[in-house]
A = this chain, B = another copy of it.
Amino acid sequence: MNSKKTNDWLKSREDYKSSKNAELLYDEIKKASVSALSKAITLVESKNKNDISQANILIQKILSESNEGLRIGITGVPGVGKSTFIESFVLYLSSIGKKVAVLTIDPTSSRTKGSILGDKTRMNKLVGDKNVFIRPTSSGLALGGVNAHTRDAIILCEAFGFDIIIVETVGVGQSETEVFEMTDFFLLLMLAGAGDELQGIKRGIMEMADCIAITKSDGDNILNSKKAVQAYKNALHLFPPKENNWIPQVLKCSAYENENIDKIWEIICGFENQQKLNGEFNKNRTRQNLLWFKSSINYLLESRFLGNAEIQQEIKNYENFISEGKISPLVAANEIMDKVFNKQF
């Protein structure tokens, strides 16, 4: 690092650490500073106590406004062509003047292990597009952690002015449900020709889908895709109707030939209109917020308690006693709880 860069870096660290951090970031986000947005997302992901309180000020400030953004969850197993699809989809949205943020959740990689670079190169046609922001969010280890941070990131992106926030999830596990619970529309990408089982898609995930898109419908794969569309249409009939009265759509698409990419956006617009008219859109958001609250409580409870240095030391001491057979694990746990709670309640 040269001296100019070092100074800049030190200054930015100072800004970052200053008590005016939240206000500063807020102002810069409102001026559409991408680096401020990135910093703010890092801030909400932090486990540092001061950062958390700054993050809370920032989020609370933003939530007092009415920022409008449509939140779209996209999932599908590895190999389904998710990156290629998102690239084409976002390019299309950008071409019709939409500002789009893409948040990717990768439960297997931590933020420092190069997934930022990985994700950026994965969708390289989007790099440099002023309308587009791509950010991997660290899932951490705790379930509640995924929720909290990604939800904050969504809200920050909306404050910045993005019209559409795409939350992409990689795997075939718990994260789909979490993404479903923080988005308005849930798009499931499926392959033609591979059975549901091969794709690791569980019934529960299909039930959540507002739209199923059969990807890679090009070349030799077109006939298979058509069959798959019919098969999934039939399968969806077997599910009970959705409470919000939406009928999930199934269609084939090709990111390579740009087929039906616009059609998917049409479906999403139709969904938004219908749901806003019948009041289900806001009902769903409120329901999601109450869930978010519950999972935040559980997450914070564990992280604050187990993150406390004094308690960590106590736990270590008790672990030694337990290993030596001097105390029952349950009694030990109760003693620790008493130290924490008894004075106050």
Contact = CB atoms under 8 A, between A and B. Distances in A.
Can you list the 4 inter-chain pairs with the closest CB atoms, starting with the nearest? A296-B333, A293-B329, A292-B329, A63-B328
A63 B326 CA distance: 8
Interface in A322-345: 322-323, 325, 327-334, 336-337, 340-341, 343-345
A177 interface: no
B344 A289 contact: no
B290 A330 contact: no
A244 interface: no
B343 A344 contact: yes
A293 B322 contact: yes
Interface string A277-320: 00000000010011011001111111011101010000100110
A60 interface: yes
B301 A305 contact: yes
Nearest to A144: B333
Contacts of A299: 333
A155 B152 CA distance: 46
A151 interface: yes
Nearest to A336: B297
A56 B338 CA distance: 12
A330 B296 contact: yes
17 contacts: A56-B331, A56-B334, A59-B331, A60-B327, A60-B328, A63-B328, A155-B328, A290-B319, A293-B315, A293-B329, A297-B333, A300-B333, A301-B305, A301-B337, A304-B341, A304-B345, A343-B344
Given A293-B315, A344-B344, 6 more contacts: A56-B334, A151-B330, A155-B328, A286-B322, A297-B315, A301-B337
A52 interface: yes
Size bracket, chain A contacts: 35 or more
A323 B290 contact: yes
Interface residues of chain A: helix, strand, loop or mixed (majority): helix
A148 interface: yes
Interface of A: 52-53, 56, 59-60, 63, 148, 151-152, 155, 286, 289-290, 292-293, 296-302, 304-306, 308, 310, 315, 318-319, 322-323, 325, 327-334, 336-337, 340-341, 343-345
A69 to B, nearest CB: 15
B290 A328 contact: no
Contacts of A152: 330
A65 to B, nearest CB: 11
Contacts of A310: 345
A327 B59 CA distance: 9
Contact of A60 (B60, B297, B331, B333): B331
Contacts of A293: 315, 318-319, 322, 329-330, 332-333
A253 B152 CA distance: 57
A286 B323 contact: yes
Contacts of A300: 333-334, 337
A52 B308 CA distance: 25
